[in-house]
């Protein structure tokens, strides 16, 4: 038996734009179900917001997201979670970094770290903190 964890991101009206952005960064398939699609739109203003969405790429990337309805509390928070992406090579991580950095605030610049040939942290334009690193080369 195995268990899979998937990061689920909560937004207030930005879920579709965030999922589309992450699809451009990591590739893969985008699936979006709006409140209207599900017959659960609380009002006209939120009908096209995301009730459930995901990006799933063949390389293993998977993220889910939705727009928190206006009748529920929502606080974007500060450092409430990180999304960690570990790739096999420094080049792979650099490619993801370069795309995620569009409109982002760099927290830790991308570079070598004691545990990885490439590591960096940034807060993307949607407020999500990403930690990217490349798997360390085996020693010995």
Distance CA 18, CA 2 (A): 29
Read off the pLDDT of residues 24-36 as tens digits, 9 standing for 90 and up: 999 999 999 999 9
Q: What's the CA dihedral at 7, 12, 14, 15 to 10 degrees? A: 40
Count of domains for the chain: 2
1 domain residue, yes or no = no
- The answer on 90 and 56 residing in a single domain is no
25 domain residue, yes or no = yes
23 domain residue, yes or no = yes
Quick one: pLDDT at residue 135? 82
Strand residues in the chain grouped as ranges (E): 7-11, 29-34, 50-56, 62-67, 82-87, 105-113, 116-123, 129-134
Read off the pLDDT of residues 49-95 as tens digits, 9 standing for 90 and up: 999 999 999 999 999 999 998 888 888 876 667 898 989 999 999 99
Tokens 């409430």 correspond to: 80
Residue 140 pLDDT greater than 70, yes or no: no
């Amino acid at each position: 038996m195995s268990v899979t964890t998937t990061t689920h991101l909560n937004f207030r009206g930005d879920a579709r734009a965030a999922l589309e952005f992450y699809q451009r960064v990591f590739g893969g398939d985008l699936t979006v179900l709006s409140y209207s699609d599900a017959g659960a739109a609380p009002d006209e203003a939120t009908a096209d917001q995301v009730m459930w969405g995901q990006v799933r790429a063949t390389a293993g990337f998977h993220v889910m997201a939705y727009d928190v309805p206006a009748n529920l509390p929502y606080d974007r928070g500060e450092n409430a979670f990180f999304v960690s992406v570990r790739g096999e090579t420094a080049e792979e991580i650099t490619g993801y970094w370069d795309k995620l950095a569009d409109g982002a605030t760099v927290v830790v610049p991308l570079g070598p770290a004691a545990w990885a040939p490439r590591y960096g942290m940034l807060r993307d334009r949607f407020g999500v903190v990403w930690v990217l690193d490349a798997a360390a080369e085996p020693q010995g």
